[in-house]
Amino acid sequence: MQIGVETSKAVDQRRVFVIDEDEITRAALQFMLHDEIETHELTSPEEAYEKGVGWLQPHVVLLGVSFLKQRGNALIGELTAKFPGVRVLIVCAKSDEAVAIEGLKAGAHGAMVKPLTLEAVRKKVDTILGRGGASPLVQLSVL
C-alpha cells in the first residue's frame, strides 16, 4: 500500500539504509519510507558496509543511537568514509538526546527523536535529500 506517495519521489534513484539493533524501529522506518525511496533494513554497520558496495551505496543512513553508545562518535566518521557524501541521521529516544547531540558534533547531519511519525520521518528524509522543494542541509550547527 502506498500512502500519500508523490510519483517523482517514488522513482528517485536514491536509497536509505536503516541501521538499528531494534527490529521494531527498523521495520517501522522501512515501512514509512519504502513507498517513496529504496529503503534497506540492516542490523549493524558491518552489514551496511557489505551491502553498500558499488552502486548500492546509501545516500542517507538512519543510525540507531545504540551504536553510538557502544562504539562512540568515531562511527560517524567511519560511515562517511565508507560512503562518501552520505547523510547520517541519528534515531533516538528523548532520553538519548545528549548522545545524539555529541553525534551531531562529530559530523552527523541531524537526528530524529521518537516517537516517529510517517509525516515527520518522510519530511526529514526529504529535507536531508533536498527533495520536494526542501533545500538540502549543508551543515547542522550545534551550540
pLDDT in tens, 91-116: 999 999 999 999 999 999 999 999 99
Rounded-to-integer distance, Cα 38 and Cα 12, Å: 8
CATH 1.10.150.20 for domain 13-129, yes or no, is no
Rounded-to-integer distance, Cα 103 and Cα 60, Å: 15
Starting at the earlier edge strand, list the strands of the sheet with 60-64: 38-42, 15-19, 60-64, 87-92, 110-113
pLDDT band at 132 (very low <50, low <70, confident <90, very high): low
What are the strands, taking DSSP E only, across the chain? 15-19, 38-42, 60-64, 87-92, 110-113
What separation in angstroms does the CA of 26 have from each of 33, 67, 98, 142? 11, 14, 22, 27
Which residue, 33, 34, 64, is CA-closest to 47?
A: 64
Top pLDDT among 109 and 140 is at: 109
- The string of DSSP letters for 89-115 reads EEEE-GGGHHHHHHHHHTT--EEEESS
Question: What are the structural domain ranges in the chain?
Answer: 13-129
User: What is the pLDDT, as a whole number, of residue 6?
Assistant: 52
